[in-house]
Structure formats: structure tokens, C-alpha cells
């Protein structure tokens, strides 16, 4: 039984970890911390968990997280890197759902997150947690930088094209649409129902923090430098990301369907849909599956890829548990096989 | 392993049965029928089930349902009663999610459903499938009339008050709000997004089919005849029913909280929330739990009960599986313990 | 031309006043204040008003509101009563969309709003602003206490029954459902899209501030004291209130339809719908109309009244302009006749 | 006073015409037809119009539409072209909100709409109804092909770039998101609330009928042939289109903001927003305004244009009335200046 600690479990990724781990036969949450809500019962804050957890939020300093086998950070950026050294020293492994261990270049981290990196040494050791790209490294990792929600969909969506060198990487476009939970569990006017419902808008066009993370990942797979226009939009749904990806094909004569099916053959959580499919976000709601469809728009030399995921599962907590399974030698799918919730 | 047949699995209760049974360790769906969609793969119609089912919809006459241990009818009213005799003869048991076996009086059935009852004998034998009321009878039943979504919430919400004879049963009010999936998976203008979204309305005020079913159930528990004003409303959510129940107290001096906690002590799927709670529908989304809170409005002699359930789970497919578990001697909770999906 | 001042125009009632007054041929907004946003252009905060207003939010102390003919307070409770004396002295009239001038009894105000009343003398003079009840007094008023959103719908819904003495006023029930804009334009977690969307819940059951306001109004019309159970619910729509009202009839033999049609004959903004109608909130969206339907639930001695309004229009800014029209001798409907927006 | 006929007024563009024309001081709807609903009062089908219209749907053959000054067709494709000759002969002018008079090439029409064109002669005469492009021709036109909803936003969004020859027209991308009302008022499962709510998907990727219309329009303005990838998506909002447009710049050194402001200077219904703006669909809800913002994504040679409109207003009925105003010598803005409805 893997003993689990969760730091900062009052946000949506935290409660999603709790939901997923409640079903996991080989893991048990032993402590969950929240400075602000220490002393509150988990099931009081989240009545959906009544009967599933008897835990109480504890103050970080009382939680003795070092005794856990693995500690998930479902915190704002900057928290995990401050505690990583101590936890590793105590023998725990770390899966950070924030950005502290995603960008390999500390200078890039500083530029986008406006804070110095607290442990560049550990950053070098950290593994970027997309199993379909880094599976072997994840198995051995002590620290996982769990990817952002957009980066998971965009990288896995573009990857086969880029690995195969089939597209002009100077003109990549990721037109992405996210549900509102992606912005976190926050008291902000811009996230209010009366502001976001029955409304649709782009945001972060001038530079979203997920842009450098995506470009880093695509550059690793690409022979030529990647330039990406990344346009996130907010759509009035709770969960779900749909990424519409465009890339100019160097050579029109290529079987994209076969390329994708081959690249992701055997992947339990990547579903390359039949040719002509148009995946919708609800088809992955509350599940760890990422569905992909590849298209060729009529009268065009572009590849069009549509990828959908649940931003809180494959885009966050589910992928984190997938990484945990790998790190502890379990089958990757343990605790993650519940079908999506539809309708 | 219980072998399961599903008749008419293309509606929301059908796909919800499939979702729940995909996780059930002791049951396996062996056949699913649809006259209209025979030959279509289940996972083609419901991409959310890709990777979970390899089944194909079969024509009812080819399905050999009599060889199943249990057959669920997720059909329009009138289908189950036409096939019940034959299936029982073949040794299968029946759980009807439609109304054929809910109303004990065939005349009442005819009046509300505008068709004669095909098998009044079997109707007499059928058990009304709310385990928290009829547990022992369900264990031995060959036919279950699985309750309607509203009737489950309203009966379980009023029951402790009525069993204890504490309220004036002539003035019961059930002001109920349902998500749109309760109306089924149908091509109807009144269910269209542009008609129901950002909109709220009552419907069925002149007489909803769930009214006689509720009254029948409450009368069974009541010493005095029950008169109920039942006002269903459509709220723009996908899943969920919230029932706001009002009943005049005969005697103001009663501990309602204790009454409800005692009545439902030990029930795995009924959560009597702490005094002062206000349950929301999402706290039970995609789960088999019914949450109840009891209140006393200020300056009033009324009892106010709020009950929430997922209309497709405790209000339909989940309760059906709960009944199946009982009928086959399994623990009632098998396959039904996944936490609600929140947010 | 009526010159208008608006205090606190950054909330939903403020922007709705601006929207309505932009169309009003006899009124011109001369100043709008916001302490926090002084210096910001109105059209920058609300891009929907680009091209319609050239105004800038000014600091309250610079706005010289006394020179306006009428000042609307779209502020939190407590602001209008602090400035009323000075504005009246300068010759302006006041329409307060908050609660300062709604409850005639200062002690009641203090109990529910947790602050002493700043000007009990003016409170005595203030007129409660429902034209369909107080038309003549409104014409002559210097101060209007503009009603709350729920109180408008509930009072106008119950009024004909109560004025006629037809119901047992000890057992009134108002089961109300409101869109989220009713809670204001606020950064609060409980109003966030991911919390309120696809969700339904009751709130304020232990005592909502609109309760004493409703009871005050109903008592004025009733020969016998009124006891009301008032249960507000939050439904995931932006605008709209639907009130489902129940009252035990003293005598079943009464033509409710005729009663309501007669009471509201000639009212431009009250639409008594044909017998059997079920009004929905979108049928009044963005309009000043309140639609009412009266029903008799089957097998019951209750009157059932359904009333819908747009909480920001007839429930707030529209009614305020209707009051302004009366106060300045204009036809009541000026600027308020745009049809509802559907779909 | 312009007398107006509406053919097929039971859909969303029909009811939107009624809503807009109810406010128009110079036009009066004299007849509205519906084969299926002849004899039904308009205000019965659309309670939102109670008190605004005393009209009854009439059978097309009884409506004597030729006596109207102008006839709007809010019908499926193919209806207007069958009646055009006769109506023109009787002296009426025609504004077709369907596609019969949009594509100048009859062969193209046949290919995309699967029916022969009934009157190629009239098609040659017809004017494509975007005033900001064809104002003078519209003034003199007898027949207007009122544009599709997507084509209005996409053409007006790309136009300044293309007219100025600044972009590589072989790689245009229009990633568009539409509210559900764009699909019409229909009983279709795919439009049901429980299917589209809390869900996001692309559709029509293999070839949407608005593609040839957009390409035709852009080619008229372009020196070089246009190739466009057009990806429509369905977002769970009622009204609104947001078009995210990408075009490779030939020369990075260009002031896009100035270009757009100059091109649309003086246009009452086109709002080029300040640099850095991110327009949302609600900022144009229920109004005839199209808002545009131009951006340069970081580290990219692309122009990024975001355009929002209300698909039922500037994308349909509002633009039709704008065209009517021009055809009858009225100021273009008459009846169209109500501010957007927000929230």
C-alpha cells in the first residue's frame, strides 16, 4: 500500500486527487495539508467525499509528510520547490502538479513565473511527467514535474507529426478551449458564473505560461526549432480541454491516421479515434483518456489534429496518479479505469 | 458472475447502466438490444465507452435474453410487460426501469399510461425497488419495478415524517427540480439547448406520471390518506434532482434531525447531512447517494426537507444495480462506491 | 430631460440601469460614481457599452450629485441612507436599489441588516416602489425604496389571493429559484462557474433578508397575519427568478384566473397568462415584464401561482426606471418596452 | 412606414426579426407565414412577444406577400428562390436569410446545397448583403443574399489584411466557435441540452456550407487566390460567434491596429477595439455590433484576429434589417441601436 500525502488539497486538482485515490486499491491518503483550512474535515469542505474520507486538513508543519511514500503538491507555483529537498531527504518522492519542475531551464522558469528557482539541482533531476513520452525515466524518478493541462493535450496532439518531421514547425498553431475549472478554485470575478456562462472569449493571447512548456516539449522531439501560436479560450463548461491543432504539411502525401495509430499503439490512455471522428470533451469527462482525431481540411495543405482530455484528470490529477503507478511499479492503469461520465 | 441483458440500451438510463456495470466486478453485460440500432457497436454510439465494451446492439429477437441471469429494461413504458412472462419462464429475472411494474393497481396504470396492463398477475408479484423500503422483498423478487427518479427522492425524503405520523398528510408539497437528462435522450425541441439553457420553468403541473407513484408509496407508509401537490421544474443542469418538501407538523416539538438519522442509520446510500446543511445536486453527481437535510423554516410550523440525488443513478440505473446486488445475494454496495464527480 | 446620477454603478444593477437608460428618450445619465474605479471609463469596464456612453466613473465626492434630478443608488446596503438628507436638501430625488428604505420599521432593518438606520425620519417618508401597489404614492415621493428581486415576484404573485382574503395566510410557501446575477457582481467562490454550473441548491433557508420585506408587504394587504416559508434556490442561469407559490384555499370554489386578470387589468408590466400556462424565465429576459400563471394542483386545496421576472429588470433596475417615470410625470412605460431577448 | 412580410417565422432568425422589428420606428410587420403553424398566434408560440404582436401565422398562399414592401425569408434553403420572381413582379423586395442568393456561381450552389438553382438570372442580380463591403449596391438592390453567420465574422475579420495584400492567402485559418442557436430551432438529438451542455466539440470539419461563401467573399478582395481551413466548433452558449483568425504576415513590420481602425472608421456596427483587447461574445449579445481585436502572437509571424458577433443579429436578422434600412433610404442604424444585454 502506497502512503500518500497531499499538500494543498483544497483546490480542484486536490479534490480530484482525492476522488481518484478513493478508488485506488494500492494507495491510501495518509495526510492532506492546508494552512488556511487546518482542522477542517475534508468531507465538510467537499460533501461529495462524505463517507469516503475520514481525513482532516492538517497544518503543513504538523503533517510529517516525509513519512509518506509519495507527496503530491496541488499548490500554487513555488511551494513544491521549497520543500522538495527535505522531503526527498526523508525518503518521500514528489509529484508536483504545479510548474516548479516543468521547465528545465531555471532562467525560463524565472522569466515566466517571476520567482527564482529554489533548487536548480533538483530541477535537473526532475522528470517531466508525460508517460507516453518519458515512461522509463518516470519509473525511476524521485521528482515529477506533472505537466500543465494544455501542454498535455497539445504535445501529445502534435507529437507524431513532429517526431516524424512531417510539418513546417515554424507555423504551428494551437487553438485551445478550456473549461473553467482549469483556472482553479478561486474567488475571482472573471470566473463568476454570471461572467463566464453564456459567454466565450480568448485569454492569455499575449503570452500564457503554458507556452514555454509546450515549446520545450515539442523542441525535444523536433529536429527543427518550433514556433507556436498558442491561443487559449475559455468555454463555459466545467471540465475539459479541446485542442485544435494546425500544422503545414511538408508533403501532402502521407497517411496521418496510420501515423497516429502506430505512435500510440498500446497506450492505455490515448485513443486515436477512427478517421473522420470528431471527439467531444464529454467523451473523456472524469476519465484519464486523451482522444485524438486527425483530419485534412478540404483544399488545404494543413494537418488538423483535434485532441480532447479532462483537464483535471489526464491534464492534472489522473496523469499524476498514472505517474505514481509507474514510480511504484504498478500497472499504469490501476485506479484509473472508470469510464467517462456521460451525459 | 451475473450475466446481464439490457433491452433498449440507447437512452440515458441504458448508457448509465453500461457505465456502472463496466465497473462491477460480479456482473458482465452479455447482450444489449436496440431494434433501431441493431448492428451498431455500443462504443460507436457512445465513444465514452470505447475500450470498455466490445458489444454490439442486437435485435431483440436475436438476443436470446432468456439465457441471462437478469434483464434490465431501459425502454419506454409497455415493453417490459410484454416480454416478462417469457423471460421469467426462461429463468431470467427482470428489473424494469420504466413504469410497467411500479403502480400496483392496473387501473391506475391504465389511467396514467394510456395502455392496458399486459400481465396483471405478474404485476401482483412485482416488487417496488427501493431497497431502503423493501429490502427483504427485493432479495426474493423475480420482477422489480424500479422507481421513477422523482419518486425515489420524494418518497425517501418524506418517509420518516410519514411513518412517524408527525405531519398533516393532506397538505404535502413536493417542489422538485430536475436536470434535463431526466426527460430522456430524445430529439425534442423542448429539450434543445437553446430552449432550456439559461432558462427555468415548471412543467407537468396539471398531472405528472410520477404523482400516483409517489402517492402510492406514501400511502403505504401513512396511517392517513396522503394528498400531495407535486410541481416538477426543469433546471438547466444535465444530471440531478433536488426535491424541496414541505409538510405541516402536527406538533412543533420534535427533533427532526434525530428522526431522520435514526430512520436511515446504516443505509449505505442515504446520507442524512448535519443539521443546517444545504445539499447541492453536484454533491451526488454520478453516484448512488441520496443526501437529505431537514430544516424548520423560521416562524413556521412546517417541516422542510431537501433531498438530492443523481436522477440517472439513485434515480434510475444505480438503484437498479443496487436491486440486482440484493437479488443475487451480493453486498448492496458492490460496484456502486465510486465517489461523486465534483466539480 | 431628466438628469440622472448613479451611485455605485459597477455592479449588475448599475450596468443594467445604464443599459436601460441608454434607450430612454427622456433621461440622461450625467454622473456615475465609484470610489474604487474613479477615473475608469464606463465603456472600458463594460465593453458592451462602447459607443453608448462617454462617461467616466467619478469619485462620489466630486460628482456633485445634488444637481441631478434623481439619484439611483446601486450600492451595498447603508450607502443611500447616509447621503439621503444632503441630496434631498439639494433638490434631488432618490431611488435606492438597496434595502435602506424598504423596511418601514427601523428595528426590523437593524435586526436583518446589522446596522442602525441613519435617518428614521426619511424612512417614514420613503415609499416602497412597486407601482402596481403604490402607484399614487410613488408619483409624489422624494425617496423610493426599490424592492428586492424576490419580494417583487412573491408579493405580486400572492397579492390578489391575499387582498381577496381567499387563503389561509398562516401556511404560505414561496419556493423561489433565482439566477446567479441576483447575488451581485462579486468575486466569491460560491458564485464561481465551476461551483454553480451544472448544480442546483437551496440557500438562505435559515432566514433570507428578503423574508421580512415580503412579509411586511403581504401583511399590508392581508386582514390576517402572514406566515411565510421562503426557500430561495440558486439555479444556473444568469438572469431570471421563478417563484412557485403555494397557499391553502379557504374555499375551493373560486375562479382564480378571473381574480388575477381583474386585479392586474391595465397593468403594462404584469402579464396574467392564459389558464394552463407555464411561464419560463427566458420569456421575460431583459424585459420589465412579470408573467404570472395560476393553477390548481390536481387533488389538492392549494392555489399554485407561478411568477417569473428578470431579477435585474422588474426585480431591480427596470422597476427603478418605472418608478422614475412615475415620479417625473412620464408615461410609466417610457424606455421600458423592448421585447424580451429569446432565445 | 415600410410594410414587412416574413416567410417562415418560426425559427430563431424569424423570432429575432420580430424582436428587432418590434422596436423599429419605420417598419411594421404585416404578415408572417408558416405552413405548419398557420392559424397559431405569434404570441402563443413565442410568449416573449405577448403584448408586442397581435399577428397570426398565415399560410404562405394566403399571405399576399407581394403587397409588402419587403419580404424576409427566414426559411430553409430553396424557399426564397422559388418565390422570388413572383414577389419581385408584384413590387416587393427580397432579403433572403438562407443561402439561395449568397453564392454567385449556380454550380457552386448546386454542389454545396444539393439542389439546382431555380433562378440563375435573379442570382446574377442579387447583392451579397454585408453593408460594410457592398453598401452602395445594397441601396439599389431588389434582392439581398443575407450572409451566413460565420461568413459575416470571418470575412469582416480577414478583410483589411486581404485588401491590403499583407498576408499569405494560401494559409488562412478560421477557427470558429458558435453558440447552439446557430443550428436553428430544431428537434435534433445533437442539439439537446444533455448532449451539448458541459461539452465542446468541432463539427463540419470535412466541409461546412459556409466555407465556399467565405472563400468567395475573400477572393473578391484578394489579388491572390485564397485557401482557407475553416473549423467550426459548437460551444454551449445560446448566442454568439467568436472567430479566431490566423494569417501568415508577408512582412512583420506593419501596424495592424491602424490598418483595422482606418478600414472600419465610421462604421456604426464595427468596433475595432483598443490594442490588446480580448472581446467576448456577451459584449455583443442581442446587438448588431461586430467587435474586432487584432493581435500578434509572441514569437510568431502570424496576424491573429478575434471577431465576435451575435450570430442571430449581425450574423442574421440584425444585418438583414441593416440591409433593409439601406434599401429604403433610412439611416443604417434605425432600430438597431439597443445596447448589448450583459450580463
Give the pTM. Answer: 0.98
CA-to-CA distance for D180 and D216, rounded, in angstroms?
25
Q: CA-CA distance, A13 to B182, in Å (whole number)?
A: 30
Q: Select from D12, D189, D238 the Cβ nearest to the Cβ of B186.
A: D189
Q: Where are the alpha helices (DSSP H) in chain B?
A: 12-21, 42-45, 79-89, 106-113, 120-125, 131-140, 149-163, 193-196, 210-221, 256-263, 318-327
With contact defined as 3+ CB pairs under 8 Å, the chains touching D are: A, B, C
CB contact under 8 Å between A300 and D228, yes or no, is yes
* Nine-digit cell string for A199: 459567454
C193 to chain A: which residues are within 8 Å by CB? 180, 191-193, 195-197, 236, 238
**Quick one: pLDDT at residue A243?**
98
Are A61 and A116 in contact by the 8 Å Cβ rule? The answer is: no
> In 3-state terms, what secondary structure has residue B129?
coil
The arithmetic mean of pLDDT across residues D298-327, rounded, is: 97
Residues of chain C in contact with residue B274, where contact means CB-CB under 8 angstroms, are none
D197, B198 in Cβ contact below 8 A?
Answer: no
Among chain A residues, CA nearest to D202? A278
Which residues pair with residue B30 across a beta bridge?
Answer: none
CB–CB contact A342 B46 (8 Å): yes
State which residue of chain C sits closest to A192, comparing Cα positions: C192
Of B205, B240, B248, the CB nearest to C200: B240
Instruction: Chain B: list its partners (3+ Cβ pairs within 8 Å).
Output: A, C, D
The chains found to touch C (3+ Cβ pairs under 8 angstroms) are: A, B, D
Q: Which grid cell is C339?
A: 421585447
Which secondary structure element, helix H or strand E, spans residue B175, and what is its range? strand B172-178
pLDDT, residue A61, reads: 87
Peptide bond preceding B343: is omega within 30 degrees of 0, i.e. cis?
A: yes
Chain B residues touching residue C228 (CB < 8 angstroms): 299-300
Task: Say if CB B324 and CB B14 are below 8 A apart.
Answer: no
Confidence at residue C252, expressed as pLDDT on a 0 to 100 scale: 82
Which residues pair with residue C230 across a beta bridge?
C174
Percent of chain C with pLDDT over 90: 98
User: Which residues lie closer than 8 Å to A196 by C-beta, 6 or more apart?
Assistant: A180, A190, A234, A236, C193
Cα B120 versus chain centre, distance: 22
Nearest to A282 among D199, D202, D203 (CB): D199
Residue of C nearest to A185 (CA): C189
pLDDT above 70 coverage of chain C, percent: 100
For residue C28, give the H/E element and its range. strand C27-33
* Grid coordinates belonging to D311: 450570430
- Which of B68, B107, B218 shows the shortest CA–CA distance to B152? B218
Out of C46, C283, C343, closest to residue D12 by CB: C343
Pairing, β C241-248 against β C172-178: antiparallel
The pLDDT of residue D61: 87
pLDDT over 90 at D38, yes or no? yes
Angle D58-D64-D66 from CA coordinates, rounded to 5°: 135
Calculate the alpha carbon distances from C19 to C50, C52, C338, D280, D288 in Å.
Answer: 11, 9, 12, 18, 15
Alpha helix ranges (H) inside chain C:
12-21, 42-45, 79-90, 106-113, 120-125, 131-140, 149-163, 193-196, 210-221, 256-263, 318-327
Residues of A with Cβ-Cβ distance to B340 under 8 angstroms: 19, 48
Active-site choice (B68, B119, B149, B176) = B149
> What pLDDT band is residue C61 in, cutting at 50, 70 and 90?
confident
- Count chain A–chain C contacts defined by CB atoms under 8 A: 66
CA–CA min distance D49, chain A (Å): 22
Q: Flag if D295 and A235 touch (Cβ within 8 Å).
A: no
Cβ-contact B23, B41 below 8 angstroms: no
| C295 interaction partners in chain B (CB closer than 8 Å) | 205-206
CB pairs under 8 A between B and D: 66
- Is B197–D180 a contact, with Cβ atoms under 8 angstroms apart? yes
How many CB atoms are closer than 10 A to CB D244? 26
- Check B193 against D188: CB less than 8 A apart: no
Distances, alpha carbon A318 to alpha carbons A100, B48, D107, in Å:
19, 17, 52
Using an 8 Å Cβ cutoff, are B218 and B226 in contact?
A: yes
- Torsion from C-alpha of C189, C195, C199, C200, nearest 10 degrees: -10
Residues of D with Cβ-Cβ distance to C12 under 8 angstroms: 343
Nearest to C229 among B201, B280, B302 (CB): B302
Residue of A68, A119, A149, A176 marked catalytic: A149
Q: What is the pLDDT of residues D184-218, one digit of tens each?
A: 999 999 999 999 999 999 999 999 999 999 999 99
Residues of chain C contacting residue D51, judged by C-beta atoms under 8 Å apart: 268, 271, 289
Q: What is the DSSP string of D178-225?
A: E-GGGG-S---GGGBHHHHTT--EE--TT--THHHHHHHHHHHH-SS-
User: What is the DSSP code string of A283-316?
Assistant: GGTTSS-EEEEEE--TT-SEEEEEEEE-TTIIII
Distance (Å) from the C-alpha of residue C330 to the closest C-alpha of chain A?
A: 33
Based on its alpha-carbon atoms, the radius of gyration of chain A, rounded to whole angstroms, reads 20
Q: Would you place residue D168 in the very low, low, confident or very high pLDDT band (cuts 50, 70, 90)?
A: very high
Q: Give the chain C residue whose CA is nearest to the CA of A191.
A: C192
Residue with cell string 441612507: C81
Residue C307, strand partner residues = C243, C292
Residues of chain C positioned with their CB less than 8 A from the CB of B248: 171
A214: phi then psi, degrees, rounded to nearest 5: -65, -45
Mind listing the domains of chain C with CATH numbers?
Answer: 2-125 (3.40.50.720), 149-310 (3.30.360.10)
Q: Per the omega criterion (within 30 degrees of 0), is the bond before C343 cis?
A: yes
Instruction: For residue A298, give Cα distances in angstroms to B137, D184, D216, D222.
Output: 62, 25, 15, 20
Task: Using an 8 Å CB-CB cutoff, list residues of chain A that contact chain B.
Answer: 12, 15, 18-19, 22-23, 46-52, 181, 185, 197-198, 238-239, 271, 273, 277, 279-280, 282-287, 289, 291, 337-343
Low-confidence ranges of chain A (pLDDT < 70): none
Instruction: Report pLDDT for B252.
Output: 82
For residues C19 and D339, the answer to whether their CB atoms sit within 8 Å is: yes
Q: How far from D9 is each of A249, B292, D46, CA to CA, in Å?
A: 46, 47, 11
Chain segment D74-121, per-residue pLDDT in tens: 999 999 999 999 999 999 999 999 999 999 999 999 999 999 999 999
Cα-Cα-Cα-Cα dihedral of B180, B183, B185, B187, to 10°? Answer: -90
Q: What is the DSSP letter of B281?
A: G
- Around Cβ C175, how many Cβ atoms within 10 Å? 24
Q: CA of C240 to nearest chain A CA: how many angstroms apart?
A: 12
Task: Using CB atoms, pick whichever of D170, D200, D302 lies closest to residue A229.
Answer: D302
What number is the average pLDDT over the span C93-103?
98
Which chain C residues contact residue A194 at CB under 8 A? 12, 179-181, 185, 191, 238
C311 interaction partners in chain B (CB closer than 8 Å): none
Which residue of D36, D192, D311 to mutate against B (max B Cβ within 10 Å)? D192
Query: By CA distance, what is A240's nearest residue in C?
Result: C194
Question: Residue C266: phi, psi to the nearest 5?
Answer: 85, -5
A7 close to A60: Cβ distance less than 8 angstroms: yes
User: Can A149 be counted among the known catalytic residues?
Assistant: yes
Ranges of residues in chain B with a pLDDT under 70 are none
Query: Cβ separation of C177 and B235 shorter than 8 Å?
Result: yes
Cell triple for residue C191?
Answer: 458564485
**Given this model, what pLDDT does residue D273 score?**
98
Q: What is the Cα–Cα distance from D132 to D314, expressed in whole angstroms? A: 12
Beta partners for D196? none
A130/chain B closest Cα distance in angstroms: 21
| Chain A residue at shortest CA distance from B47 | A283
- The neighbour count for residue D8, using CB atoms within 10 Å, is 23
CB contact under 8 A, D185 and B189: yes
Verify whether the Cβ–Cβ distance C338 to D341 is below 8 Å: no
Q: How many CB pairs under 8 A join A and D?
A: 151
Chain A residues touching chain C at CB-CB below 8 Å: 12, 179-181, 185-189, 191-198, 236-238
DSSP 8-class letter at D315: I
Burial of B124 (C-beta count, 10 Å sphere; 0-12/13-18/19+): exposed
Chain C residues closer than 8 Å to D340 by CB? 19, 48
- The count of residues in chain B is 343
Number of C-beta neighbours around residue C62 at 10 A: 10
d(CA C327, CA C68): 14
Amino acid at each position: 500500500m502506497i502512503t500518500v500525502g497531499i499538500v494543498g488539497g483544497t483546490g480542484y486538482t486536490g479534490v480530484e486527487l482525492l476522488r481518484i485515490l478513493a478508488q485506488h486499491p494500492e494507495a491510501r491518503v495518509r495526510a492532506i495539508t492546508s494552512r488556511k483550512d487546518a482542522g477542517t474535515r475534508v468531507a465538510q469542505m467537499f460533501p461529495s467525499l462524505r463517507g469516503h474520507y475520514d481525513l482532516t486538513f492538517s497544518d503543513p508543519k504538523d503533517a510529517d509528510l516525509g513519512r509518506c511514500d509519495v507527496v503530491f503538491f496541488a499548490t500554487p507555483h513555488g511551494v513544491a520547490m521549497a520543500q522538495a529537498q527535505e522531503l526527498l531527504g526523508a525518503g518521500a518522492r514528489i509529484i508536483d502538479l504545479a510548474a516548479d519542475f516543468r521547465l528545465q531551464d531555471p532562467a525560463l522558469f524565472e522569466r515566466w513565473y517571476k520567482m527564482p528557482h529554489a533548487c536548480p539541482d533538483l530541477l535537473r533531476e526532475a522528470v517531466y511527467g508525460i508517460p507516453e513520452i518519458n515512461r522509463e525515466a518516470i519509473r525511476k524518478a524521485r521528482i515529477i514535474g506533472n505537466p500543465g493541462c494544455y501542454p498535455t493535450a497539445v504535445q501529445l496532439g502534435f507529437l507524431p507529426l513532429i517526431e516524424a518531421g512531417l510539418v513546417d514547425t515554424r507555423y504551428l498553431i494551437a487553438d485551445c478551449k478550456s473549461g473553467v475549472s482549469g483556472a482553479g478554485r478561486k474567488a475571482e470575478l472573471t470566473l463568476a458564473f454570471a461572467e463566464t456562462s453564456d459567454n466565450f472569449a480568448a485569454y492569455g493571447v499575449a503570452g500564457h505560461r503554458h507556452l514555454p512548456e509546450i515549446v520545450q516539449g515539442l523542441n525535444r522531439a523536433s529536429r527543427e526549432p518550433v514556433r507556436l501560436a498558442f491561443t487559449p479560450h475559455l468555454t463555459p463548461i466545467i471540465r475539459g480541454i479541446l485542442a485544435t491543432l494546425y500544422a503545414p504539411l511538408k508533403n501532402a502525401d502521407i497517411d496521418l491516421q496510420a501515423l497516429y495509430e502506430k505512435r500510440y499503439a498500446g497506450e492505455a490512455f490515448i485513443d486515436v479515434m477512427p478517421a473522420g471522428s470528431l471527439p467531444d470533451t464529454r467523451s473523456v469527462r472524469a476519465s484519464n483518456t486523451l482522444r485524438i482525431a486527425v483530419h485534412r481540411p478540404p483544399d488545404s495543405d494543413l494537418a488538423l489534429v483535434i485532441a480532447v482530455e479532462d483537464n483535471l484528470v489526464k491534464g492534472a490529477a489522473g496523469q499524476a496518479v498514472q505517474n505514481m503507478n509507474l514510480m511504484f511499479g504498478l500497472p499504469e492503469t490501476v485506479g484509473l479505469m472508470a469510464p467517462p461520465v456521460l451525459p
